[in-house]
Structure 1
Amino acid sequence: MASYIEGALIKDEKVIYEGHVSIWSLAHWIVFGFIGLAFFGLGFILWIVAFIRYKTTEMAFTNKRVIAKVGFIRRRTIELNISKVESIQVDQGIFGRIFNFGTLIISGAGNPQAPIAGISDPMAFRRSFMESQDQTARPTD
């Protein structure tokens, strides 16, 4: 089964950087799942929720746009041309700083902010995007 990002690529478009959900951002689902096992196996449901969230969140930027998809049955997608992205902000709480995960907030021209929560190493995603955007903005010699 192909990923959403692979299926959304257009001609001459290549993935530059791919972000992933951090297992640490799902720790509360996993811990409560262990606790819930004592209550008629309800913990399995919480583990399934964590697994689905982990497997169905995709985020990447290509040489042409930023693409993100969240959800399994109810899907939310974000696709912005690189030239329309005004900023990528990183929001990290205490645990996010300790375990290196956070929320990326992508702001585009004419579009509202698009938060993608629980991304592993959000600063690397932001840095890689900014470097790529900087290189496309430079004139070639």
Structure 2
Amino acid sequence: MRKENFKTIARNKKAYHDYFVEESFEAGIELCGTEVKSLRGGGCNLKDAWCSVDDGELVVHGMHISPYEHGNIYNRDPVRTRRLLMHKKEIMHLFGKVKQQWYSLIPLSVYFKGSLVKVQVGLCRGKKLYDKRADLAARAAKRDIDRAMKAHLQ
């Protein structure tokens, strides 16, 4: 058995605030050499990123990978569309869900799995304003309870 080591590069915290994550999938990503070197330095932003299915391929839009400092002419456009690598059956499953049930495909995190770069893609449903308020209230209540329990135990 080989132990996989994970190193998270970037997380999309805004996605958890704006969407209910129903399912998540792991996908590879097609990158060029300088982009991988930039990712090793932690230069990635997923804040406004989203995914779509174009011509049977899963692509990510709006994902910003900073240009590698020593890349010179080999650097690519930081916000270019990048192809995600998944099985055709999984892509068609996601495409059907997005078209029929009004879900969105949002990249949740980018991480190294061994030496490979992976993207966690979430099948998400949008939150309304009252849902966001309810989540904030629940989180605040949990924080207050934890604080009170900690004070009571001391």
Q: Which has the higher helix share?
A: 1
Higher relative contact order (Cα pairs below 8 Å, separated by 6+ residues): 2
- State if a TM-score over 0.5 links the two structures: no
Structure of higher CA gyration radius: 2
TM-score by length of 1: 0.34
